[in-house]
Amino acid sequence: MTTTRGLEGVVATTSSISSIVNDVLTYRGYNIDDLAENASFEEVIYLLWNDKLPNKQELDQFSAKLAEDAVIPEEIINQIKSYPSDKVSPMAALRTAVSTLALYDEEADDMSEEANYRKAIRLQAKIPTVVTTFSRIREGKEPISPKKDLSFAANFLFTLNGEMPEEVAVTAINKALVLHADHELNASTFTGRVCVATLSDIYSGVTSAIGALKGPLHGGANERVMKMLSEIGSVENVDSYLHQAFEKKEKIMGFGHRVYKTGDPRAKHLKEMSRKLTELTGETKWYEMSTKMEQIVRDEKGLPPNVDFYSASVYHSLGIDHDLFTPLFAVSRVSGWIAHILEQYSNNRLIRPRAEYVGATNQSYVSVENR
């Protein structure tokens, strides 16, 4: 038996959803660069779930259904009000609320293809509302109901801030959502697939995926990037901060990747968005600090930035609370999780690898009095 730590390089399934070949990322065969420049997030969700881009009528119907299903049950709002919101992380709140949503979905355990697709839309639609409702409640504000005539990206900002968002912010959020939608067999997607491969329900799959995304080695890195930038404080401090971190062998959040070696193709889009948005806010220091960090970490460690690095200064520039960065990642990635969950159901086999046992052997039981 050979053990592969972290399953590095192990090909655990076939999939036709997204691919990473020679550091190029595609969704259903469409290059991420093309989609980031041109597609709405609604189109991308449809693409991931249906293996084709929607025509105008399909897109209109799909977008309308997403907007219609975005309202969350009153019971969930009341539960969120009961969370100790000054103490819990929004990712923990999201994980709990998504699990609770299943209790209010009569089709939760209906495993038919049709019911799973309906639940997919409900989950995709409601998750942003859960995030923004939590955010408003912890600020002592009333939750805002999503509007049926707004796009997915605009509704996120509207229900977060309670005012109509500016076009530039909607465009930025839409692009970030497109870029984060799917990423082959990343840790949270794999978690979701392992869960539903037992033929557990879609809510359980998404809840477990949220748990995996929360960790700082995965989606939790973007929040920590902003914490690091805030600690560094100015361009002049970047050099000494990084060299101290290198000396202490600390990981620099937002750098490195298990699969990409020359660079993460999503990072350049977020970098450009960071440049533009920090110019608009007049806080160019975040962009300048980030580019200086990129240069030093690349030169001295050979590590390029990943998707989480520039998304931090993008979201900060849009006025989003730092601990909502990872929930916003989940708002997008649920589209990919669901695509993978549906694919898993369509050709399922239980995922059950082995462990190489390295513990004690030939032990004999000794009664508790004699230990």
Q: CB under 8 Å to 197, separation ≥6 — which residues? A: 344, 348, 349, 350, 351
Q: Are 48 and 17 in contact (CB under 8 A)?
A: yes
Query: Which of 64, 103, 168, 217 forms a contact with ligand ACO (CB under 6 A)?
Result: 217
Q: Which stretch binds ligand ACO (CB under 6 A): 40-48, 218-226, 316-324, 362-370?
A: 218-226
Task: Select from 97-105, 213-221, 278-286, 315-323 the region that touches ligand ACO (CB under 6 A).
Answer: 213-221
Here the tokens at position 297 are 């970490």
User: Which one from 182, 201, 264, 308 is the annotated catalytic residue?
Assistant: 308
Interface with ligand ACO includes 141 (CB under 6 A)? no
Residue 73 CA to residue 23 CA, distance in Å, equals 42
Is residue 298 at the binding interface for ligand ACO, with CB under 6 A as the rule?
no
The answer to whether the beta carbons of residues 134 and 94 sit under 8 Å apart is yes
Cβ at position 304, least distance to ligand ACO in Å: 10
d(CA 71, CA 69) in angstroms, rounded, equals: 6
Which of 105, 180, 183, 257 is catalytic? The answer is: 257
DSSP reduced 3-state for 107: coil
Distance CA 111, CA 115 (A): 7
134 scored as a contact of ligand ACO (CB under 6 A): no
Tell me if residue 322 is catalytic.
no
Q: Smaller CB distance to ligand ACO: residue 27 or 255?
A: 255
Q: Given candidates 1, 2, 4, 6, which one binds ligand ACO under the rule CB under 6 A? A: 6
Sites for ligand ACO among residues 246-265 (CB under 6 A): 251-258
Query: With contact defined as beta carbons under 8 Å apart, do 20 and 261 qualify?
Result: no
Q: Is there a catalytic annotation at residue 149?
A: no
Do residues 59 and 46 make contact, with C-beta atoms less than 8 angstroms apart? yes
Tokens encoding 205:
């799959």
* Closest to ligand ACO by CB, 70 or 328: 328
Three-state DSSP state, 320: coil
Q: List active site positions.
A: 257, 308
User: Where does this chain bind ligand ACO (CB under 6 A)?
Assistant: 6, 217-219, 221, 251-258, 301, 303, 306-308
